[in-house]
Copies of this chain bind each other. A is one copy, B any other.
Amino acid sequence: MVSHPHNNEHIDDEMVKMEVNLDDVPGEWLGYVMDLLFEAGANDVFYTPIYMKKNRPGVMLQLLSSRHKLEKMKEILFNETTTLGVRYYPLTVHRLERQFKRVETAWGPVTVKEGYYQGLLVQRAPEYEECKEIAKLHRIPLKQVYEQVWKKLDQDE
């Protein structure tokens, strides 16, 4: 088990949520914008379907970012979408302590991300990308990989 000191449980009140409503951008551009925003350091980016005026199905882009990346995010949003305005407001995030553990499976090791709330283990999540690589390489169902990770996790304890 590896401990990361900077992964301690903490409350971050330097975050912002940014929002943009889009009714005149093709959906195919939006997958690309999501990638750019993550690469530029957004903590999360997601889309919600919305019903806009004049019977327009639209999309609300929401992103979470630390306050000091606000200008970088605006730059991407204005350059890559069709919006004429970006709105935002501050919010607070309570993040759990994170630890990373390695679990041995029949197909090799998998990282499991753990979350601690007030010192107690409450979350355990096998790393998706690693499980996916194993599933692809060994041509087995992804869920079978997850199942084995959980089983091995329990045996270690």
Contacts and interface: CB of A to CB of B under 8 A. Distances in A.
Interface in A68-109: 74-75, 78-80, 82-96, 98
Nearest to A75: B117
Given A24-B27, A27-B22, A31-B56, A92 B82 contact: no
A110 interface: no
Contact of A123 (B33, B62, B84): B84
Most buried by B among A29, A92, A132: A29
A141 B32 CA distance: 10
Interface size class of A (residues with CB under 8 A): 35 or more
B49 A53 contact: no
A64 interface: yes
A41 interface: no
Contacts of A17: 87, 89
A124 to B, nearest CB: 8
Contact of A51 (B46, B80, B94, B123): B46
A135 B76 CA distance: 13
A141 B23 contact: no
A132 B60 CA distance: 22
Given A57-B49, A150-B150, A151-B150, A28 B34 contact: no
A58 B58 CA distance: 9
A40 interface: no
Counting from the closest, the 5 A-B pairs by CB-CB distance are A49-B49, A31-B55, A23-B27, A47-B51, A89-B91
